[in-house]
Amino acid sequence: MLTREPLSAEAVRRFGAHTSVAGGLANGAREAIALGANAFQIFTRSPRMWAAPPLDAADVAELGRLRREGDLRPLVIHGSYLLNLAAGDPANRARSILGFRDEVERAAAIDADYLVFHPGSAKDFETPEEAIDSLSDALAEALEGVECGSLTILFENTAGGGASLGRRFEELAAIREAAAAKVRAPLGFCLDTCHLFAAGYDIGESCILEETLAAADALLGLGAVRVIHCNDSKGKLGSRIDRHARLGEGLLGWDAMERIVQRPELADKVFILETPHDDDGTHTQGVAALRRMMDGARERE
Ligand SMILES: [Zn+2]
Ligand SMILES: [Zn+2]
C-alpha cells in the first residue's frame, strides 16, 4: 500500500521536533530551520478545538518556500487529539469523520508527507475488535473522494491509557489490516518511544529493544514504520501513563535513548522530538542532544 520507497540506509538522517505554528504554518518551518533540523512536525489546526480557520494561501506558499530552501523533509502533521474515529456514539463519530477529513485535506493541500494520528478509544464497544471494525469504516468514510496526493497516513502506537487502541503491535497491525481493506490511501505507522515504554515494552533494556524491533518488523513491517516520536518517559514501564520527558531526563535515560537512536534498523526513520521545551522555551538543546545521539557522542550536557 505504500507508494514511497524507504530512504536508503546511506541517506542522510532525518530529524527534528514538533514546532509551533503560532502566527502561521510557515513559522513551524522557520523554527525547524533555526533548530538546525531537516524535518519537522506541526499541527495544521488547533489540536484541542473542533473549529479551524481555513488555510491561508500566502502562508502555505511561504511554508513551501521555506521547506525547499531549508531542505526540510519530510513534513509530518499530527492530527487533532479530539478525533476518535473509533467512537460508537453517533455524534462524536460524525464529528471525528469530518475532522479527520479536514486534517487529510489540509495535509494534502500543504503537500505534507505524513499524517500521524492516534487510533482512538474503544470505550463505546464491547471488544477492541468491534471498535477496530468501526474505526476502519469511519476512516473509509472520512477519505471517500479525498485526493491524498503524496500523503501517507500513519497510525501511532499509544501508551494504552483508558480504552485507547494501539497499545500493542498486534492491535496496530489489526487496525491497519482492517483499514487497508477499505481505503486506497497509503497506510503506515509512527512509533513513539515513550508510549512503547509506558505500554510495557521495556526498550530501555538492550536485549528487549532488539526483541521489540524484531516484533515490530514481524507484525508491522519496519518498512511501514516511517516516523519515530523520540521521547523519554516520565511514566513508569507499563504504567500506561503518557507523559513525555526530555531526552535523558526520563525513566529511559540517556544511554537507552541513545541505543534506540543508533539502532541500524531505524536509521531511515524520521526522528521527531515531542519533549517538553528547554528552559528557554525552545527545542534547541533537545535537538542538539538528538544529534549527539545520532553521532554517537556519549557526552552529556
Ligand atoms: Zn507521539
Ligand atoms: Zn504521547
pLDDT in tens, the chain (301 residues): 444 455 454 569 999 999 999 999 999 999 999 999 999 999 999 988 998 999 999 999 999 999 999 999 999 999 999 999 999 999 999 999 999 999 999 999 999 999 999 999 999 999 999 999 999 999 999 999 999 999 999 999 999 999 999 999 999 999 999 999 999 999 999 999 999 999 999 999 999 999 999 999 999 999 999 999 999 999 999 999 999 999 999 999 999 999 999 999 999 999 999 999 999 999 999 999 999 999 986 544 4
What gap in Å lies between CA 227 and CA 77, rounded to an integer?
11
- Residue in the structure block whose three cell numbers are 516511517: 226
**Residue spans per domain, the chain:** 14-295
Active site residues: 48, 78, 81, 118, 156, 192, 195, 229, 242, 244, 274
Model's pTM, two decimal places? 0.94
- Ligand 2 midpoint to CA 232 (Å): 10
- Ligand 1 midpoint to CA 192 (Å): 5
What gap in Å lies between CA 289 and CA 298, rounded to an integer?
10
C-alpha cell recorded at residue 116: 500521524
What gap in Å lies between CA 212 and CA 81, rounded to an integer?
27
- As its CATH architecture, domain 14-295 has Alpha-Beta Barrel (3.20)
**What residues contact residue 274 under an 8 Å CB cut-off, 6+ apart?**
17, 18, 41, 192, 229, 230, 231, 244
- Residue in the structure block whose three cell numbers are 478509544: 121
Buried b (16+ CB within 10 A) or exposed e, 55-89: beeebbebbbebbeebebbbbbbbbbeebbbbbbe
